[in-house]
Every structure is written in C-alpha cells, then in structure tokens.
Structure 1
Amino acid sequence: MKAKYINPYTDFGFKKLFGEEASKPLLIDFLNALLPEQNQIVELTFKNAEQQGITDLDRKAIYDIYCENDKGEKFIVELQKAKQNYFKDRTVYYSTFPIQEQAEKGDWNYKLNAVYCIGILDFKFNDYATEAEKTEVLHTIKLKNQHGKVFYDKLTYIYLEMPNFLKSRTLF
C-alpha cells in the first residue's frame, strides 16, 4: 500500500484538512485553541469563500476558509506562505465583506456580530517595536483607543506565525 500525505501548508492541503464538512471538528478545535475561553465555538457553518463586490467592477475577495458560528460570528481563515507587503491591509479589506453582509434592508439598528480574521503566516512582520514582540507566536489585534483600552471588541485580527509556532510545538 502506498502512503499518501497532504501538505497542510499548501492551499489544497489546508482546505482539505480544515475546509470540508468532514474536517469541521478539526477546524473548530483549531479556532478554539486561538480564541479566548468566552468566545469558544460550538458549531460552525461553512460559507461561500468568494465574496463579490457591489458592482461587477468592484474588487472581490476570495478566502481560504469562511465560516460562521451558531452565534452569527464570522471567521475568515487565511494561510499565507509567501510574504505579502500589505497583508495587514488585505485582512482589513477582507473583514469589510462580512461586516457589510450583516446590513439589513429597511429599519436596522446597526448591531453587528463579531468578525475574526485569522492569518496563518509563514513569515514574520518586520514592524515589531520590541524583541519580545518579535519572538511572540500569536498576535491578537483589536481596535483600541489612545489609552490602550479596547474600543471595539467585535473586530479581531489573529496572526499566527508558523515559523515560531512550529518551533514551540507540533501542530500536525
């Protein structure tokens, strides 16, 4: 019998391991390992990973994985092997689609469910201010005011840097 392996660090392998109905428990476990205890996921539904712009001329977004939990919170998961100069900008842009899709026609109170953008990166950002930041594996970003207090807790960016993460533990 010939053994078959899937490389989880390719788009195909990543989507095969985390983006299919049969692998949903693995994705839930992975996301729960990144999220605080109060935000643990019980159930997920996969959503269309291709988001169209408002018009045909608008830029669209194609996610590696896009899903929603039972509370209506949205999760975008991106595997990024090659360094991209504007990856932070890209994830901010990507987060606008699940925010916009929550808008209701007619009378609406503007209450939004949380949106999480998770980036699994095979590179390090080069704009860290301290040595401690450079060695951290997990970076969680929220909108904060000038005093460092969370201003808005429904938009979270989580960046997981694979090189350091894999040195610290076995993921697969």
Structure 2
Amino acid sequence: MIKQPEYTTFIDAFVDFSFKRLFATEESKPILIGLLNHLFRGRKYITAINYGKNEYPGEITTEGGAVFDVICTDADGTKFIIEIQRGYQQNFKDRALFYTSRAISEQVTKGNRREWGYKLTEVYLVAFLEDFNLPDSPKVEYLQDICLANRYTGKIFCEKLSFMFIEMINFVKEPIELHTELDRWLYSLKHLSEFKERPEYLNGPEFDQLFNLARYANLTKEERDMYNTSLKHKWDNKNVMDFAVAQAEQKGERKKAVDMALEMLADHEPVEKIMRYTKLSLEEIEGL
C-alpha cells in the first residue's frame, strides 16, 4: 500500500474512492447539484436528486451489462450518469452509447412493452476524461456538449439523449482566468490534491462542502485505507499506460531509423554514414 504524503491536505478527486465520496453520498448532493447546474448553464435547473442503482445487467444472461460510477435522478425524472475515465479506452464512444442505451432501455419493464407509450425521460452522460482527449476533438476546448441534431442544419432533433465530455487535460486555466463558476469547479477538482490549504477564490457553500469532504484528515482509518488502495490502483494503471506509450514511441523511432537505413543502403551509402545518421549498430544494419 502506498503511503499518503504528509503534505497532502486534500484527496485526489479522480480516483474511485474519492469520486464516489465527492459525488455519490448524501453529504455530497449539494456538490453534485451545483456542478450539474453549472454544466447545463441554465438549460436545466436541478434542485434535488436521488441516487439510483449503478448496475444495469443485460436483458439476457449472455448480454453484457453496464456499471456506472454514479447515477442520479432529478425531480423531473431526468437521469444523469456521472463517469470518470482516467485513460484512453478503445471504442470509448461506443462504450458511452452502450452506457446510455442501458439507462434508456431500462425505462420499460419486460412485461409491459406493448402497453408502453415510448415516452422517455431524459438521459445525460457526464464523463470526466482525466488524462486523454476524445478522438478528433479540438485540443483547445475542454467541454464537448453532444446532442442528437440534424447533420445539415444543426437543428436539435431530440433533447432526450445528450453527452457531456469534460476533457480535463485541456483545462489549463490559471486562477486569474477563472471567470465562471464552472471554471472554478473544474479548477478545484483538477488541482484538489495539490492545495495545501483552501484557496480564498474558491468560496461559497458548495465549496465548503467539497473541501470538507475532501480533507484527508477527515477520513476514518478505514476510509484512508480505501483511498490509498484506490490511489495506488490509479498510479499502477498510469505506470502501465506510460510504459505502453514509451514502448510504442520506441518502436516508431526504430521503424523510422530502419526505413532510413534501407533507403541509404539502396543508394550505396557507406555503412559508417548509415550508422551515424540512424544510430543503428553495425549488426543491425547488416541484418537488414
């Protein structure tokens, strides 16, 4: 088990234990309500939420289910799926569609399909992407707000299904640039474990609750063990991912060197020159 650094005052928001502590407890309801309202920017106004089950099994035993980090429902029945994704996952967009489809199909019971009027409640996926970008997304934007719309006119087709992807790697604002409440929220979540004390510019009742729940000293011994285990799991996964990226980069560099060596050999360049330009050994060049 890793040892929590003595200078750390607040927990890392983006590990499993912390994410659920900050967004999926009775004490954290004001935090989640505030964050959702800032994300929707007046398009929706949420006053109360109820947490729901976070596991949706497949309709048949051989069909995969879905397990969400946090799912809640507001007073109008709108469902919000709150997810954290720390590293890139293949077919991530497909996974997002699969998750939301489970929350939609679950709205009718198996024995009531014929009588069901197909009136859906809204389903929103709010996904924090901590350390990667969506494929083909602009690197200067940190909030992708996706809805069903007409491809040619841009007119919204249906509001019942929507996706918000918050790409934290793109959120690079400094404290002086925090002009909106959403800016302050994202900054606090991204830098939470770096604060030695609560900054004065992050004030208000919602932030009172956030920093109280996030204070490491307020955790019980059991909670600290759970947090440390969760944090270790996060860094283990990051080390594996970093190693895989480094390996891929090395393979890419070697391929470039080999391609260059082959071209130089075809042009009958001296081996010494090929070694100097490609950094390949004599044995490697002779083996080509």
Same fold (TM over 0.5): yes
Aligned-partner Cα distance in 2 for 1:4–1:19: 21
Residue number among 14, 29, 33 corresponding to 1:28 in the alignment? 33
Q: 1:67 & 1:157 partners in 2: Cα distance? A: 15
**Residue 51 (1) aligns with residue 56 (2):** yes
- Greater strand proportion: 1
Q: CA deviation at 1:171?
A: 2.2
Could you tell me how far apart the structure 2 residues matched to 1:149 and 1:98 are? 25
1:102 matched to which residue of 2? 107
Structure 2 counterpart of 1:113: 121
Structure 2: which 5+ runs fail to align? 1-5, 175-182, 190-288
- The correspondence of residues 82-97 of structure 1 with structure 2, limited to 5 A, is 82-97=87-102
1:171 is aligned, of 177, 188, 199, to 188
Deviation at 1:85, TM superposition (A): 2.3
Q: Which residue, 10, 14, 17 being the options, matches 1:12? A: 17
Tell me which protein shows more helix as a share of its residues: 2
2:126 partner SS: strand
Task: Choose 2-11 or 143-152, whichever is displaced more.
Answer: 2-11
> Is the 8 Å Cα contact of residues 142 and 170 (structure 2) preserved in structure 1?
yes
Distance 1:103 1:155, change over 3 A: same
Q: Does residue 170 of structure 2 align to residue 161 of structure 1?
A: no
Q: Secondary structure at the match of 2:22?
A: helix
Between the aligned residues of both structures, percent identity stands at 37
Aligned residues: 167
In structure 2, the residue matched to 1:69 is: 74
Aligned CA RMSD, in angstroms, stands at 1.7
Structure 1 residue 150, shift from structure 2 partner: 0.9
Which one is further off, 63-72 or 147-156? 147-156
Please report the TM-score for the alignment, with normalisation by the length of structure 1. Answer: 0.89
Q: Give the alignment's TM-score, normalised by structure 2.
A: 0.55
Corresponding residue for residue 41 of structure 1: 46
Higher relative contact order (CA 8 A, sep 6+): 2
Aligned residue for 1:120, secondary structure, equals strand
User: How far, CA to CA, are the matches of 1:58 and 1:108 in structure 2?
Assistant: 23
Deviation of residue 4 (structure 1)?
A: 5.7
Cα deviation, residue 166, structure 1: 4.9
Post-superposition Cα deviations, 1:88-117, rounded to whole Å, max 9, x if no partner, equal: 111110001111121251522211111000
Question: Deviation of residue 54 (structure 1)?
Answer: 0.8
Structure number, greater radius of gyration: 2
Uncovered stretches (5+) of structure 1, i.e. residues with no partner:
none
Q: After TM superposition, what 4+ stretches of structure 1 lie above 4 angstroms from structure 2?
A: none
Distance in 1, Cα, partners of 2:9 & 2:61: 41
Q: Which position in structure 2 is the counterpart of 1:152?
A: 158
